[in-house]
Every structure is written in C-alpha cells, then in structure tokens.
Amino acid sequence: MTKFHFVRHGPTHAKTLVGWSDLPADLSDTAAIARLSDHLPDAPVISSTLLRATATADAIQGRRPRLPHDADLREIHFGDWELQHFTEVEDQARIRRFWEEPGSIAPPNGESWDVVCARVNTAIDRLMAHDTIIIVAHFGVILTQVQRALGIGGYEAFSHKIDNLSVTDITYDGAWSAGRINHIP
C-alpha cells in the first residue's frame, strides 16, 4: 500500500496559463506553510523540477528526507498558450474544447490531457515503492491522480478545485482511492 499526499505549490499570482514556465511561488504566508508542514506525515518529499514546486517542497521539508526532483511531475505543457490569458488565446474554439473535452486535444506545441495523464501516471507508479510519500506538484498533476483514484473522466476531474498549499490524499492498495481532496490545513 502507498499513501500519496499531493501538495499544490504556493501561489504564483499569475493570471495566465502557467505550465512549464518557471515562475516563483509566493511563500510569504509562513503561518500557512507551518500548518501545512505540521499536517503532513514524516515521509519523503519529492517535487516537480519547476521552481514554484521545489521552493514549496523546501519550505515544508523540515527533517523529512528529500528525493530528487522529477520532471515528469511538471504541470501541463501549454505550448503556444503558455503565459496567455484564456481570452488571449487566438483559437478560442480549441481552448474551450481542451478544457471541456479533455483527452486528445492539445495546445499547439503542448500536451493533451491524455499525454499529461500518461506522463504523471508513469511518475507516480515509480513512487509506489514508498509506503507514504509527499509530492509537491501542480493543479494538473494532482487532478490526473484525482481522476485515476475516482475513476472519472477528465471533465469531471477538472470540476475539482485544487487550491495552492492544499493537500489531496490518494491511496493505492491494489486499487486507487481518494481521501480528502483540496484540504487546507
């Protein structure tokens, strides 16, 4: 059995599509960081390679062991839509379909939901050697595992809110299951 504690990184305050851009996290709310760290178990911490995730992992690590960053835990690659506001994307029909019909539709030079799910699932499967693990990652990464644990489609997964500095608990014990989703300690 493996217990996964997914933590969404601290806020970037960007009002655009932020995928692989390496924006820093605002970790100035030290009380929230302390509550989050206190809430988490004594378990190894891993994060994506993006600065907002690595800095958040550093902030909550404490005495927990740290695993090397994993690029497969990066956010959705928004390709040509990166750092654009939803309304600025030229192909409005395509971006609407990307969010409303998640699956094979991809941003130009970016990833489809199906590709993101496959990439993240592979990364998570590699971590099943741990009994318990803390994964500091991104909105899309966490939703791939919510989808997996609940056995729902991408559209239903996108209906879940994942706040910055929240914890989502997923367990694999021969089958996937979700505990608390989007818990703010």
Which residue type sits at 143? L
Predicted local confidence at residue 152, as pLDDT: 98
Instruction: Supply 44's token pair.
Output: 């190894």
Is 113 among the domain residues? yes
Strands (E), 98-137: 132-137
Contact indicator for 44, 67 with CB cutoff of 8 Å:
yes
- 103 assigned to some structural domain: yes
For the chain, list residues with pLDDT below 50.
none
pLDDT score, position 33: 98
Which residues have a Cβ under 8 Å from the Cβ of 126 and sit 6 or more positions away? none
Tokens of 19: 């995928």
pLDDT tens figures, 165-174: 999 999 999 9
Q: How far apart are CA 169 and CA 35, in angstroms?
A: 16
Residue 184 is assigned to a structural domain of this protein: no
Give the domain CATH number at 71: 3.40.50.1240
* Number of domains the chain contains: 1
**What pLDDT does 154 receive?**
97
- pLDDT given at position 55: 98
The answer to whether 9 and 33 are in contact (CB under 8 A) is: no
Residue 16 lies in a domain: yes
At residue 173, the pLDDT reads 97
163 lies in which domain range?
A: 2-178
Domain-located, residue 160:
yes
**C-alpha span between 95 and 185 (Å, rounded):** 33
What pLDDT, on the 0 to 100 scale, is given for residue 19?
97
pLDDT for 113 equals 98
